[in-house]
Amino acid sequence: MNKLLRLEWNKLRWPVLITMLSLSLVVSVLSGTIYKSYALEHDLEAWEVGIPFIVFLFPLISVLPTGWLMYMERKDRFLMYTLPRVKKSRYILSKWMIVAGSSFLIMFVAMLMGVITALYIKPDITPIYSLVDRSTGEVAPSLERLHFMGSLFVNQPLGYGIMLSLWQGFLSAIIATLAFVLSLYVSNIFIVLIGPFLYAMLENFILNLFKLQDYKIYDSFEPGFYDTDKLGYWPLLAGPAMALLFTTLIAIYFSKFKKVTVYPS
């Protein structure tokens, strides 16, 4: 298995490394510049105001560097070459591990670089408080009360940043899994690479339409001011759970109903 994993990593390493480095650079630059036109209470907020565009594009970023691999191997019939050498399930499993793992790595490293830039590289911000305390009439910090995991965000920003980056990496891996499953059955590169992004868009639109916006995968990716007191933590799991459910349904539909085979038959 180790050899297989190494082999798959060798196929993906350059696109993954290039995306990881360039995304890290973009996130760092955004986290270190955009905050200047905002009134912020905490340094880590610089990271939050810098990444909305990356958040919007995360289903594309998760998929583009990795999603093409299985498609190409099915297209050029490389899979047939592997057939006498390795068990189908082992080969697909190793490929999925590398695809999902790479996607995780790209997002985790890039986001963590943004956190580090916001906390340690850019100049410290001068906090501007906007919440007025009704009893004293003076402005007071609001983040600890209003922000998602406010206490951790304010008191241990690095811990919060690492935790959220890990979570974002995990969500990227889920989206990459969706693309991977699509690439197992679909022979259209555009559907493989763009499908997950359109899924996220459609999910966003439908949940907004039914006023269920708290369950969106985008909200789960960047909870920001998500109110845990009112909603609890579990709605944050709804987006990824729906994506996994959709992935499973896709796999069942193609394998059981459409009878599409992964290996050329």
Partner 1 sequence: MIYFQILLDTVIMLVLCFSLAGQAIRFEKNTIIWFICFHILCLILRYRRTGNAVWWEGFDANNFDLLPVNNPILLLVLLMCVLMLNSSLIYSISNMKVIVVTFLSFLIWILLRTFSIAGAGLIMAQDSDVFSYIHRGITLLLALMLYLLLITKRGSFYLGDYSGIFPRIMLVQSAVVVLCIVIYANFETSFVTQNLLLILLLFTLVISMNLWIIYEHHKQTRQEKRVSAIEQYLPVIDELVSEVRARQHEFHNKLLAIHSIVETAPNLPEARAQISAYTDNVIMQSEIREVLQLDSKVIGGFLYTKMRIAEQRKITLTPVIHVSFGHIVTEEHQLVEILGVLIDNAIEASFPEDEIIVTVQRTEKEGLTEISVMNPGPPKSSTDFIQMFNKGYTTKNTAQGSRGYGLYNVKQIVLQHKGRLITRNTEYKGITYLSIGVLIP
Question: Which residues touch 107 (CB under 8 Å, ≥6 apart)?
Answer: 23, 58, 61, 62, 165, 168, 169, 171, 172
Site for partner 1 in 222-241 (CB under 8 A): none
Q: Token pair for residue 181?
A: 């499953």
> Would you count residue 65 as binding partner 1 (CB under 8 A)?
no
CA torsion 76→6→171→36, rounded to 10°? -100
Nearer to partner 1, 180 or 199 (CB): 199
Please select the residue that binds partner 1; options are 134, 190, 230, 259, rule is CB under 8 A: 190
Please select the residue that binds partner 1; options are 86, 201, 238, 260, rule is CB under 8 A: 201
Per the DSSP assignment, residues forming a β-bridge with 140 are 131
Does residue 210 contact residue 230 with C-beta atoms inside 8 Å? no
> Would you count residue 67 as binding partner 1 (CB under 8 A)?
no
Residue type (1 letter), 197: F
> Would you count residue 246 as binding partner 1 (CB under 8 A)?
no
Location of structure tokens 């050029």: 76
| DSSP 8-state symbol, 37 | G
Nearer to partner 1, 205 or 225 (CB): 205
Q: How far is the CB of 56 from partner 1 (least distance, A)?
A: 7
Please select the residue that binds partner 1; options are 9, 56, 129, 226, rule is CB under 8 A: 56
> Would you count residue 205 as binding partner 1 (CB under 8 A)?
yes
Please select the residue that binds partner 1; options are 208, 232, 234, 248, rule is CB under 8 A: 208
Dihedral pair phi/psi, residue 37, rounded to 5°: -95, 15
Binding site for partner 1 (CB under 8 A): 56, 188-191, 194-195, 197-198, 201, 205, 208-209, 264
